[in-house]
């Protein structure tokens, strides 16, 4: 492959994944998604990595899917299309925290990517949108589902049906974005947050993420039972004993993820 579609670097215990298709405004194509899937699969079992940050090269997060790929999709049979494990299912099942550092555009597939991450940090000039209806398509990577859960039915429907964009401040007020920072500072802020997360018990972080995400799939009663099971697993862990001992001894804990 002549083009390095994904740059992967480390900042301590934080893995930095940079989408690198700047000439295409970092739009998503199959080759890029395959590269991201392979990287996440490797990072899943890398115990030295405790958080992941996804960003885009050249000051753009991701302007959407590469619409030239629609021709390839049309060539596939409609029945059974879209089955099988994909980058999106790998990201959804990824046990470590994933933070999106969004600059300028998170549109279409880029907005869906941000929504699929656990936390979104946005530059003040960033724009979020799902404008697929403007080209005769609809979101196909979770946009109709995650957007409704993130912002509620009315705001989600307004975005989905008009294709209008949200500013970073609007997205923060609506619940898509956790924090708005100065343009050009999202990667630094997201990395710093990842490093703060990495100071906590890796087991507790994985268990709390698992419990929180279960709320999207279960009733309240089922979610509370799931949380209780994870709580007892956490309290019976070596990390919990170390955290308690360190707290009482007024020292920093040394977590092992066990």
- Cβ contact 190:121 at 8 Å: yes
In the annotation, is 132 catalytic? yes
Of these residues, 65, 126, 190, 198, which one is catalytic? 65
Are 111 and 130 within 8 A, CB to CB?
A: yes
**76 vs 176: CA distance, rounded Å:** 33
Domain boundaries, the chain: 6-198, 202-248
Residue 41 CA to its chain's centroid (Å): 15
Residue 62 DSSP symbol: B
Residues 51-89 have pLDDT tens digits of 999 999 999 999 988 777 766 666 666 555 554 468 999
Question: Considering only 9-13, 64-68, 143-147, 163-167, which range has the smallest mean pLDDT?
Answer: 64-68
Reply yes or no on whether 142 is catalytic. Answer: no
Q: Which one from 109, 110, 129, 194 is the annotated catalytic residue? A: 109
Residue 82 vs residue 136, higher pLDDT: 136
Q: Which residue among the candidates 18, 110, 112, 122 is catalytic per the annotation? A: 112
Domain 202-248 class in CATH? mainly alpha
Q: Which residues contact 134 (CB under 8 A, 6 or more apart)?
A: 163
Q: Are 165 and 107 in contact (CB under 8 A)?
A: yes
Over residues 147-164, mean pLDDT: 96
Q: Has 112 been annotated as catalytic?
A: yes
CB 26 within 8 A of CB 61: yes
Q: Look up the CATH superfamily of 6-198.
A: 2-enoyl-CoA Hydratase; Chain A, domain 1 (3.90.226.10)
End-to-end CA distance of the chain: 39
Selecting among 132, 168, 211, 243, the annotated active-site residue is 132
Percent of the chain exceeding pLDDT 90 equals 87
CA distance 40 to 5: 14
Between CA 166 and CA 158 the distance in angstroms is: 10
* Per-residue pLDDT tens digits for 17-59: 999 999 999 999 989 999 999 999 999 999 999 999 999 999 9
């Amino acid at each position: 492959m002549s083009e390095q579609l994904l740059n992967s670097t480390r900042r301590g215990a934080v893995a930095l994944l940079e989408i690198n298709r700047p000439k295409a405004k970092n739009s998503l194509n199959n080759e890029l998604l395959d590269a991201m899937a392979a990287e996440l699969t490797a990072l899943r079992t890398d115990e030295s990595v405790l958080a992941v940050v996804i960003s885009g090269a050249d000051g753009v997060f991701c302007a959407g899917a590469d619409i030239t790929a629609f021709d390839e999709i049309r060539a596939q049979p409609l029945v059974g299309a879209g089955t099988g494990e994909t980058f999106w299912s790998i990201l959804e099942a990824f046990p470590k925290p994933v933070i999106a550092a969004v600059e300028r555009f998170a549109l279409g597939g880029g907005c869906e990517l941000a929504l699929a991450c656990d936390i979104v940090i946005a530059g003040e000039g960033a724009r979020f949108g799902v404008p697929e209806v403007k080209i005769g398509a609809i979101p196909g990577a979770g946009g109709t589902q995650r957007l409704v859960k993130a912002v509620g039915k009315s705001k989600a429907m307004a975005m989905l049906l008009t294709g209008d964009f949200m500013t970073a401040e609007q997205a923060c007020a609506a619940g898509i974005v956790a924090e708005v920072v100065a343009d050009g500072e999202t990667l630094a802020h997201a990395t710093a947050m990842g490093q703060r997360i990495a100071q906590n018990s890796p087991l507790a972080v994985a268990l709390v993420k698992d419990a929180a995400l279960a709320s999207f799939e279960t009733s309240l009663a089922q979610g509370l039972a799931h949380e209780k099971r994870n709580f007892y697993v956490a309290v019976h862990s070596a990390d919990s004993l170390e955290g308690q001992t360190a707290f009482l001894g007024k020292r920093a804990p040394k977590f092992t993820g066990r």
